[in-house]
Amino acid sequence: MALGGHRLTVTHADGYPVHPVTGDALLLAMGERYDAIVQVQDGVFPLVAVAEGKGAQGLAVIRTSRGTAPRATANPKELRRRLLTVHDLQATPDVDLGPVAPQRSHRLVLDGNMSTYRWTINGHTMHGGAPLKVRLGERVRLVFENRSTMFHPMHLHGHTFQVRRTGDRVPGPRKDTVIVRPTERVVVDFDAGNPGHWMLHCHNAYHAAGGMMTELVYER
Ligand SMILES: [Cu+2]
């Protein structure tokens, strides 16, 4: 998404503060939330969200003075300038989980295709796979590997995680939903501090309904 004629300064990811970063466009998925500050100019401007992999887009209009409204097909040049992604962001120290070594790690291979419309985690749909186990007090690592050609915004209930940037060591933002792009590997860490049975699923509802869900459970 982008706002024509403006730059965006992202300040929060899924409600958690990040060191502010300025760019022209922002990549976000179903379930993700970003806060951004813009210095609104004088005029009428298109706020455009372009759907990945489709020839469709959404439009809102920001108006601060008289002028002609942009067309529904408005295509601001900001969309082709600096695109901010989750990997540009870093949590502020007050919400950084710190460099604790994970005591447990789960690998989650995301797969599926448009012809069968069966979307899987480690080869299983929700009803076929074993739950992911954790124990109270552990630092847990989730490693998402996307082997499909679709984006998967992965969302964990009951917890927030910290995305690890390149090399798995650089701390990224605190979040509860993270996009895993095709062929991408994304690493997140969280503290297991909320016993229960929690869903972990793709936030593209069509993919979740097609099977891309699993459960996180606490061992005693
Ligand atoms: Cu998905």
Query: Residues whose CB is under 5 A from ligand 1 (ion)?
Result: 152, 202, 204, 207
- Residues of the chain with pLDDT > 90, as a percent, come to 90
d(CA 135, CA 132): 10
pLDDT value of position 167: 60
For ligand 1, the distance from its centroid to the CA atom of residue 150, given in whole angstroms, is 7
| Residue 53 pLDDT level (bands cut at 50, 70, 90) | confident
Secondary structure percentages of the chain, helix, strand, coil, to 5: 10, 45, 45
Query: Is residue 139 predicted with pLDDT exceeding 70?
Result: yes
d(CA 79, CA 204): 22
- Residues of the chain with pLDDT > 70, as a percent, come to 98
- Please check whether residue 200 is in contact with residue 129, taking contact to mean a CB–CB distance below 8 angstroms: no
d(CA 161, CA 97): 8
d(CA 15, CA 150): 26
Query: Is residue 166 predicted with pLDDT exceeding 70?
Result: no
pLDDT value of position 4: 98
For ligand 1, the distance from its centroid to the CA atom of residue 211, given in whole angstroms, is 9
Q: Is 111 helix (H, G, I), strand (E, B) or coil?
A: strand
Query: What's the pLDDT tens digit per position in 77-126?
Result: 999 999 999 999 999 999 999 989 999 999 999 999 989 999 999 999 99
d(CA 58, CA 15): 23
Tell me what the mean pLDDT of segment 31-38 comes to: 98
For ligand 1, the distance from its centroid to the CA atom of residue 156, given in whole angstroms, is 13
For ligand 1, the distance from its centroid to the CA atom of residue 199, given in whole angstroms, is 14
Query: Is residue 158 predicted with pLDDT exceeding 70?
Result: yes
Query: Is residue 26 predicted with pLDDT exceeding 80?
Result: yes
Query: What's the pLDDT tens digit per position in 3-20?
Result: 999 999 999 999 999 999
